Amino acid sequence: DLRALFDSEWERDLVEAPENASYNGDARFNDRWSDYSFKAIEAQQAADREALAKLPAIARAALGAADHLHYDTFEWLLDKSIERQKFLEYLQPIGHMGGVQNADGLTEVLPFATTGDYEDWLKRMQKLPVVIEQMTELMKKGVKQGVMPPKVLMQRVPAQIATQVVED
């Protein structure tokens, strides 16, 4: 049951964060981006709470020592993820360490070995305006609620964005 829960949550993460799937070598979602809509964020947060609620049904005492550690680590990670929900971190979708302004970095892990690889990338790129719009909406709400990253950290972001601007 523990392994089934882990497998289910791993798959959920790949679906919710296609970029992570790509970084992990799973090409099934190479044609899409994460959904940063308010509806998707609410669903992801609810799914975290549901996953944590499933954990007590698994008899921890019946598990081996290694799975005790896996169980405890999984529980701790979910606890912390749920606890952080109150801080509205999703209202800060870009930062000095990453965001849509670094989307080109994904190309370094994609194989680009087949026509399909290029087609997937083109599909992904065609969807980029939606991601930018979703992140803009998140940031607007963040500004209204005073949930913003520190100015000193954001000073790197304009240069990161500028490298994305080209003539053609």
For residues 138-160, give the mean pLDDT.
91
CA distance 114 to 46: 38
Quick check: helix, strand or coil at residue 65?
helix
Contact 154, 96 (CB under 8 A): yes
- With bands split at pLDDT 50, 70 and 90, how would you rate the model's confidence at 21? very high
Quick check: helix, strand or coil at residue 95?
strand
Closest by CA position to 60, among listed 52, 51, 70, 50: 70
Between vectors from CA 140 to CA 124 and to CA 153, what angle results, nearest 5°? 80
pLDDT at 98: 84
- With bands split at pLDDT 50, 70 and 90, how would you rate the model's confidence at 159? confident
pLDDT in tens, 117-145: 999 999 999 999 999 999 999 999 999 99
CA distance 43 to 48: 9
Which sign, positive or negative, has the C-alpha torsion 93, 77, 146, 37? positive
Residue 8: CB partners within 8 Å, gap ≥ 6? 51
DSSP characters over 95-110: BTTBSGGGGGGGGGTS
Residue 5: CB partners within 8 Å, gap ≥ 6? 51, 54, 55, 58, 74
pLDDT in tens, 25-56: 999 999 999 999 999 999 999 999 999 999 99
pLDDT at 101: 85
Amino acid sitting at position 42: E
pLDDT at 133: 97
pLDDT at 153 over 90: no
